[in-house]
Amino acid sequence: MATTDRAEAYACWLQYKKIEDVKWLDNYASYCLNIGVVGTSEIIHSALDELSLAFHSMFGKKPTVTPHVDSETSIIIGTYQDMIEEEFALETDVFQSLNDEGYILRTVNHLEKNCVLLVGKTDKGVLYATHHLLRLIQARESLHQLDIVEYPKNQIRMLNHWDNMDGSVERGYSGNSIFYENNKFTTNLERIKDYARLLSAVGVNSISINNVNVWEKETYLITRKLLQDVTSIADIFRAYGIRLFLSINFASPMELGDLSTADPLDNNVKSWWKDKVKEIYQYIPDFGGFIVKADSEHRPGPFSYGRDHADGANMLGEALEPFGGVVVWRCFVYNCMQDWRDRSTDRARAAYDHFKPLDGKFKDNVILQVKNGPMDFQVREPVSPMLGAMEKTNQIIEFQIAQEYLGQQKDLAFLIPMWKEVLDFDTYAKGEGSTVKKIVDGSLYEYTYSGIAAVSNIGDDINWTGNTLAQANLFGYGRLTWNPNLSSEEIAKEWVQVTFGNDPIVVETISTMLLDSREIYENYTTPLGIGWMVNPNHHYGPNVDGYEYSRWGTYHFADRDGIGVDRTIETGTGYAGQYFSPNKEMYNSLADCPDELLLFFHHVPYTHRLKSGETVIQHYYNTHFKGVEQVEDLRKKWSLLEGKIDEYRFHNVKERLHMQLENAIEWRDQVNTYFYRKSGIPDEKNRRIF
């Protein structure tokens, strides 16, 4: 394997390859020779470093950098406040309309010479403008008439890491943690800096660096023993506009202190947390706050003391409030020991049932983090009815970039189309047009805090994500959270260009593979919204009756007569009633329920006809055969790119597609055989079913 191949795998979308396009160089290279900097800060220094590195790599020459603007200057960077005295005709009203991370990117004539302005409302805006300019250059766009005004649509754009200090990553499919090894912090801070660069390039501004399941007290990051190391990590991310958060164990006063209780209404517990928070801010003055998973999957929480979620969250919020910190309280709360044979119980209902009655009872610096669906990151599930249900409580939505149930980054699954479906979904919370993206950007209910979080998919593999193509999900997450109005096609094309270059065949082939991949994965796994037919514990590969808690029965309730979960109001769990009208009526009606979610809401005979005219059982046979054929086609498409992509990345994806084909065949054979034996109904096309 060539060293350069490994470097390209590592660089992800910060490739900055030498530009060989003579025509483009003749037209635009002059813009990149001299940089004038107006003002200074740690973040502006990061922007300047990125420009210098990129230009040196792309043009073979380091640009000249001066702390002022003169007749030689071709790129001018700085904040609006620092540039206001300069003669750049910067419109005050434009900057007043931007939030603190916004910027303008504009070509102007200054001192009888064309220059490119990168002006941020604050220094964070300068950094984001820098990466925008570099994306334009990587895509070989014109620089002559730039006039771009940009700002992020979401306030919080966060990544949650599920990294453990022993170096493992819960639901990690890309190697070990980049933060920890052998219960200590890593000494490879350069890689963490490169990670911060990657995240700043796509607009991520918040990060939590430890698992929400905080188990061993020796590795609690809020201890004085470890806070100095945490500070070093926070310093790196701060230079790239990223604020650090930590996950905590709700029982910390008992685990780390000498208290006999963690009761959130106990005055000694309140004092313990106030002292701990004060100590953290002495180390990290811009600390973001806590991520909390409580009273779910055996995690401690306020329920142990007869208290509710508002009691627990508000106690922490009170401690953080004087310092500007927030509590991010996860709503993934359900009884993992419930009996699935009792069809009146329904895990899908749990978050709404727990939290809806508490609307208005949370402090203003508490944010509820709601998974995009009511279950657990399935390939197809409805939007959580929690989104929009709590008018008086801050909310952020939670996605999972790590493909826990979607092939684990062995199988290709581009997640941006799924996330866009969620963000564009109309909840009707305040009538038509109450889309999820308006809820999480804070505009529908004017939340104090709002935004989007996601479980990270990176590890210490050389290419960060195991499967090179899984980089597109991390890149796409950042770009989509910055601007939810970007199309899946735009994001896919942009990622391919900045990662693999501008060869039209490469761009078209990989973009098509990405955009088709979610439907392909759904076809050979769990179509029609049924969900969960995976192997217990590790969650990869088919196990039609299997799941951790399925000893009490399957999730899909398949029997000899039919399949699906009755979640209707009249005869089922009543889950459909958690939605606003007209979604409530749509999901509740067998006739009106979208086919892609039919089995999530209804138990139907195998012979029930879909809107396509197919029966449910025939649809299952057809999609599972089709899915395998589609994976074979993905392999053929990729093979045509040999020689157009470096050897390492070509063989990395080729190997993953081989694993995906094996997985798809296993899914096809197990699922089709299971339902043939269950229903006794043969395939109309007489294909071989084992």
Domain regions of the chain by residue span = 3-150, 156-486, 488-565+603-689
Cα–Cα distances in angstroms (integers) from residue 588 to residues 197, 578, 678, in the given order: 47, 11, 26
Q: Which of 196, 646, 256 is nearest to 464 (CA)?
A: 196
Backbone angles phi, psi at 475, to 5 degrees: -60, -50
Distance (Å, rounded) from C-alpha 657 to C-alpha 666?
14
Q: Give the list of residues 6+ apart from residue 675 with CB closer than 8 angstroms, or none.
A: 558, 563, 606, 617, 620, 621
Q: Say what the pLDDT of residue 335 is.
A: 53
**Is 101 one of the catalytic residues?**
no
Rg (CA), the chain: 26
- pTM, 2 dp: 0.97
Q: What is the DSSP letter of 369?
A: E
pLDDT in tens, 182-194: 999 999 999 999 9
Q: How far is CA 507 from the centre of its chain?
A: 23
**Is 297 one of the catalytic residues?**
yes
Q: How far is CA 156 from the centre of its chain?
A: 12
Distance (Å, rounded) from C-alpha 538 to C-alpha 554?
17
Q: Say what the pLDDT of residue 218 is.
A: 62
Number of alpha carbons in the 13 Å side-chain half-sphere of residue 384: 35
Q: Could you tell me the maximum CA-CA distance found in the chain, to the nearest angstrom? A: 82
Amino acid at 601: F
Distance (Å, rounded) from C-alpha 355 to C-alpha 251?
21
- Is the dihedral angle over the CA atoms 564, 570, 572, 574 positive or is it negative? positive
Long-range contacts (CB closer than 8 Å, 24 or more residues apart) made by 419-426:
419/372, 419/477, 419/480, 420/480, 420/484, 420/487, 420/488, 422/372, 422/373, 422/383, 422/397, 423/397, 423/480, 423/484, 424/484, 425/383, 426/583
Q: Say what the pLDDT of residue 550 is.
A: 46
Q: Which two tokens stand for residue 368?
A: 């509820």
Helix H, strand E, coil C: the string for 394-458 is EEEEEEECCCCCCCCCCCCCCCHHHHHHHHHCECCECECCCEHHHHHCCCCCCCCCEEEEEECCC
Distance (Å, rounded) from C-alpha 326 to C-alpha 156?
11
**Catalytic residue selected from 376, 381, 460, 566:** 376
**Is 391 one of the catalytic residues?**
no
**Catalytic residue selected from 163, 404, 460, 522:** 404
Q: How far is CA 442 from the centre of its chain?
A: 18
Q: Which CATH superfamily is domain 3-150 in?
A: Chitobiase/beta-hexosaminidase domain 2-like (3.30.379.10)
Cα–Cα distances in angstroms (integers) from residue 75 to residues 65, 515, 571, in the given order: 10, 36, 66
**Catalytic residue selected from 49, 166, 181, 297:** 297
Domain 156-486 has CATH 3.20.20.80: yes
- DSSP β-ladder status, 34-38 and 75-79: parallel
- Is the dihedral angle over the CA atoms 160, 162, 166, 171 positive or is it negative? negative
Backbone angles phi, psi at 107, to 5 degrees: -90, 125
Q: Which two tokens stand for residue 276?
A: 């701990």
Domain 488-565+603-689 has CATH 3.30.565.10: no
Count how many residues are written for the chain.
690
Q: Say what the pLDDT of residue 110 is.
A: 82
Can you tell me whether residue 127 is helix, strand or coil? Answer: helix
Q: Which two tokens stand for residue 378?
A: 């399935």
Q: Which two tokens stand for residue 552?
A: 């009490």
Q: Which of 544, 409, 395, 537 is nearest to 467 (CA)?
A: 409
Question: Using DSSP, how many helices (H) and how many strands (E) does the chain show?
Answer: 21, 18
Q: Say what the pLDDT of residue 339 is.
A: 43
Q: Say what the pLDDT of residue 113 is.
A: 87
CB distance 648 to 8 below 8 Å: yes
Neighbours of 475 (CB within 10 A): 25
Q: Please report the beta strands in 500-602, taking only residues with DSSP state E, as ranges in sequence order.
A: 562-563
Low-confidence residues in the chain, pLDDT < 50: 1, 336-341, 550-552
